[in-house]
Chains A and B, each alone.
Chain A
């Protein structure tokens, strides 16, 4: 049994890694239709593996299924952190806080929806849209001024979003009676509470949660990103701690009795399917790749390499830092929403800052500034550490699973001593490689290749 499990797990892990490699290679094919077909086939393979059952044999049992979804969520978070830290060089420890924000926000929306309360969706949706408009409006107004004091800009944005939030709550109070009539009761579910509508609500909740995390990160990042790198790290760690404190007190300090504070939020509808998880993961990978190899991405990387030189080249360093931070948090928020609707139970213990070091460690394991490394390391981390080692060590004794937490810092130390650039360094696979720039015949321009390196 033990050997069989070990063997099977190793095959599964290598299979998953080979799958990711193949997917990225095929997606890198120059033909557009091959790309699309490869994504569809990749989706279908896992979907089949999840649903096919021959006798008592299943390819992915429930445990593996959980690992798969967790790995997808982790990939999103880690991709975001890689953008912030690996590509933009901002040492952030707050990614887990945005992950938690996304998870709780989306879970609250769907939880309320299935329990006959539409205020969650309305307030979050209206709030997020109004907040975005306010931020955009104030931003375009402030763009007329040079050397705007950060604190003043923050105050304006803060007051603006507070007003937006207030309006959203009012909108929720007004609209709730009309929409919740369609929800029906527990015994007689209305037309708005069918599984299909729930999926749509879930989809909206995921996106709103991502945007919510992004807006919070905008408000937080605006003043904090002007601090130095180490101070920024500690401040973001503080943010993660504050978010966790608020989660523990969500029913006392914050007015969310359904989150049940430190006892954990039970009964989040488990709406995540492989379709949504895969869709958002692939979307994030594509967005990341296209972002990094665009001129924006080059600007983001140049901020990491040398801020002064970037400034001299006319790059608005503060803006690009903020942009990377906001996009990274957006990914984290989406990851959190996917995770929440897979696991169905949110506890503040999942989002403590101590666990929040994991994304950072995964990014470093995979290689700072390597998207392939982030994907591989996330999947490897979840499947190896949470899957294989936990079960394998669990068979040795009840205490033994604790040892994996002792093993991984040691591995990390060895990695730092032997290969400080991470497992993959800056290698990229297939699709994630820098696209070849077509050089025009007449112009002798050097190809614009980007060589990300692990700088500090």
Chain B
């Protein structure tokens, strides 16, 4: 009887990794965190005003990302698809508002109909109309995309849907880049309302246009307030929609278990369309707000914010709405601080590094629940 030849190397003794090996990785992360913290704290102590100003910029960015991230997190929660076209829906939202303001003068309609209305009210109602118009266009676009491109592939392998999503995204970008659509140029955006800036220095003062803010003061504008308010309202509305209404229950049920939801009499296809619609509405709104805050738009503007919003959604725990919000705020801060203290182009690098680190430490994201075992 011949003895069975062991595998090459199988005579080596393999032992369980000792405890201290765990600490190497953890120590590395702690070191990284400490270095970051030291840099931040040193800069914050040296120039506290500048630090606060950067944080304010980060908040503004983060709240815009939050609005885009909602669409990603909801769609991924239900159909498990990275909807690459979401960023381009966001771009279409920005362009819709541009055309509505620059060509149609939609933001002035209350003044034409009711000449006696106070100018403040005209601006408010007009701006809201512009946002609403963008949201409607985005909803129509997203539902069309869902019906035409994603729905026929619902039972196909996931890769097919993913490639389709990339295809739709490319189509929107390059179709938008044609000269008779949006053109490939950067277009200066015209805001529907004038910018009012305040500065904080022993109380809040209004900054007249064309005047430099005094040194050692934090400035903020009505755009910032507008974005923060809109983002928080959207969060509350969405929480209400998902937690309290029948539609929300249907959404959560579909994301939990589609076949069972179907058995319970839920029209899952309709719920998915609705999810796309809700996400697109917020993306449209985010597009307008992004364009108002950073007034230069072009046909590929949606890609990077879209990706970063997805990263934010993953960061917070994909499928979780408060997670998307928190993740987006972290992303905004990280980007703003990188822009302020390291260098402008490194912001993308830092965003993705944070993603990798968070996923390594906590694979489900900050708010994510541990993944269920596949039935």
Contacts and interface: CB of A to CB of B under 8 A. Distances in A.
Of B175, B177, B356, most buried by chain A (CB within 10 Å of CB) is: B356
A40 B80 CA distance: 49
Contacts of B29: 151
9 contacts: A151-B28, A155-B28, A238-B311, A238-B352, A245-B348, A402-B184, A410-B167, A420-B157, A454-B157
A17 interface: no
B42 interface: no
Nearest to B343: A253
B341 interface: no
Interface in B118-135: none
Interface in A109-162: 143-156, 158
Nearest to A241: B348
B25 A249 contact: no
- Minimum-distance CB pairs A-B, first 8: A238-B352, A151-B25, A405-B174, A409-B171, A152-B25, A145-B17, A152-B24, A412-B167
Given A227-B359, A361-B166, A399-B179, A148 B21 contact: yes
A158 B303 CA distance: 31
Contact of A147 (B17, B158, B356): B17
Interface in B326-364: 343, 345-346, 348-349, 351-353, 355-356, 359-360, 363
B160 interface: yes
Interface in B296-314: 300, 303, 307, 310-311, 314
Interface stretch (A74-82, A195-203, A229-237): A229-237
Contact of B311 (A153, A234, A364): A234
A249 B356 contact: no
Contacts of B177: 402, 405
Contacts of B14: 143-146
Nearest to B23: A152
Contacts of B166: 357, 360-361, 412
Contacts of B23: 152
A147 B22 CA distance: 10
B264 interface: no
A150 B159 contact: no
A174 interface: no
A364 B160 CA distance: 9
Given A238-B353, A406-B174, 4 more contacts: A152-B24, A235-B355, A360-B166, A402-B179
Nearest to A156: B24
Interface of B: 9, 12-18, 21-29, 76, 80, 82, 149, 152-153, 156-160, 162-164, 166-171, 173-175, 177-179, 184, 300, 303, 307, 310-311, 314, 343, 345-346, 348-349, 351-353, 355-356, 359-360, 363
Interface in A401-456: 402-403, 405-406, 408-410, 412-413, 416-417, 420, 454-456
Contacts of A231: 314, 359, 363
Contact of A413 (B18, B80, B168): B168
Contacts, number: 176
Contacts of B17: 145-149, 152
The secondary-structure label for the interface of chain B is: helix
Given A152-B22, A156-B24, A249-B343, A242 B167 contact: no
A323 interface: no
B360 A409 contact: no
Nearest to B360: A223
Nearest to A151: B25
Contact of A145 (B21, B76, B156, B351): B21
A91 B18 CA distance: 33
Which range holds the interface residue count of chain A?
Answer: 35 or more
B44 to A, nearest CB: 23
Given A361-B163, A409-B167, A409-B174, A238 B21 contact: no
Interface of A: 91, 143-156, 158, 223-224, 226-228, 230-231, 233-235, 237-239, 241-242, 245-246, 248-249, 252-253, 354, 357, 360-361, 364, 368, 399, 402-403, 405-406, 408-410, 412-413, 416-417, 420, 454-456
Nearest to A235: B356
A315 to B, nearest CB: 13
Nearest to B9: A143
Contacts of A241: 307, 348-349, 352
A416 B360 CA distance: 33
Contacts of A155: 24-25, 27-28
Given A409-B168, A413-B167, A456-B158, A149 B25 contact: yes
B159 to A, nearest CB: 5
B92 to A, nearest CB: 15
A242 B310 CA distance: 17
B355 A245 contact: no
Contacts of A245: 345-346, 348-349
A311 to B, nearest CB: 14
B217 to A, nearest CB: 31
Nearest to A398: B179
Contacts of A230: 76, 80, 82
A145 B171 contact: no
B168 to A, nearest CB: 7
A245 B360 CA distance: 23
